[in-house]
Amino acid sequence: MAKVPVQFTLNGSEKAEFVDSGTTLLHALRDKIGDTSPKGGCHQGTCGACSVIIDGELRLSCLTVAETCSGADIRTTSGLAEAGVLHPLQRAFLDAFATQCGFCTPGMIMAAKVLLDHTPNPSREDVIEALSGNICRCTGYEPIIEAVLTTARANSQNAA
């Protein structure tokens, strides 16, 4: 299998790797680069555990061919904490018990992050819609929805 170079920015740092042509971004991130925050659940586009943000948009890394990301800006949950301080979404997920086994959590947080980036004051329906591609086996979703709404409320209080 031909090796091809892939170069992109991952959480603000330049990354360059040689991967097998046609390799998925999920595989490149986890097995080549060592960012294991995106999870491989279904590899079918249905669970959302592998969600990452590419050039500001939510994407499924299991269905994205790594080479198509050349030059892209990629964000994963592992890049959210700054100087050891958790991102407000991460904090809210912990505080609201929105994380049980944690397998869905990085994908949920990525989906919630793009929502809040574009819609700082989402309605409950906006949150449900934004998370609709992400499956959680554990929490029953309510704590997750609450964590996202809590983060939004805190953000708007800080902004006021």
Ligand X SMILES: Cc1cc2nc3c(=O)[nH]c(=O)nc-3n(C[C@H](O)[C@H](O)[C@H](O)COP(=O)(O)OP(=O)(O)OC[C@H]3O[C@@H](n4cnc5c(N)ncnc54)[C@H](O)[C@@H]3O)c2cc1C
**Residue 22 near ligand X by CB under 6 A:** no
Residue number, 95 or 126, with CB nearest to other proteins: 126
Window 102-121: residues binding ligand FES (CB under 6 A) = 102-105
Interacting residues with other proteins (CB under 8 A): 1-2, 4, 20-24, 27, 43-45, 48, 51, 57-60, 62-65, 67-68, 111, 114, 128-130, 132-134
**Residue 139 near ligand FES by CB under 6 A:** yes
Element (H, E) at 20: strand 13-20
Q: Which of 5, 16, 21, 45 binds ligand X (CB under 6 A)?
A: 45
State how far the Cα of 121 lies from the Cα of 63, in Å rounded to an integer. 30
In this structure, what token pair is assigned to residue 107?
A: 């994908």
Q: Are 154 and 100 in contact (CB under 8 A)?
A: no
Residue number, 48 or 143, with CB nearest to other proteins: 48
Termini Cα distance of the chain: 55
Q: Which residue has the tokens 């574009």?
A: 118
